[in-house]
Every structure is written in C-alpha cells, then in structure tokens.
Amino acid sequence: MALTKNQLKAFRDSHGLTQEKLAEQVQVSRQTIISIEGGKYVPSLELALKFSQAFNCRVEDLFGITEAHHARKD
C-alpha cells in the first residue's frame, strides 16, 4: 500500500494557516509538516486524526491509500 492522496497543504492553505501555526495546533514540529506535505513522511493515525479535527473533516478527505492488486499465480 502507498499513500497516494495527501491534501494537507491544500487544506492548510484554504484555512489560511502557516506551516508553523498548523504545527503548533497539532503539537508537532514545522519540519514534520514540511515532511508530510512533501510526501516524505506518512503521519501516524493519531496525527492524522489531529489534522482532521483541526480542519473539521474526515481523515479520508486529507489522506488516502491504494492497494496494489497483483494477480496470484498458483
């Protein structure tokens, strides 16, 4: 599985928040926000839930995954 949907920056921008303000709000470093927005770090469930509370949305609105389907050969 891979994180294929990451709307954190879009939500942050639409709410007029800087990386620093969002980091303070969810109690992480600004570097963590940068890493998540850049796709270098996948947030924990706890952090994803904090983001969803901060933006009053579902976690699925912010992040999504796809599962690679490989045909099995028996």
Q: What is the pLDDT of residues 11-66, one digit of tens each?
A: 999 999 999 999 999 999 999 999 999 999 999 999 999 999 999 999 999 999 87
Note whether 74 and 46 are within 8 A (CB): no
* 69 SS3 class: coil
Distance of alpha carbon 42 from alpha carbon 56, whole angstroms:
20
pLDDT at 71 over 50: no
The CATH fold of domain 2-66:
434 Repressor (Amino-terminal Domain) (1.10.260)
Whole-structure pTM value: 0.84
Strands 2-6 and 63-66: antiparallel
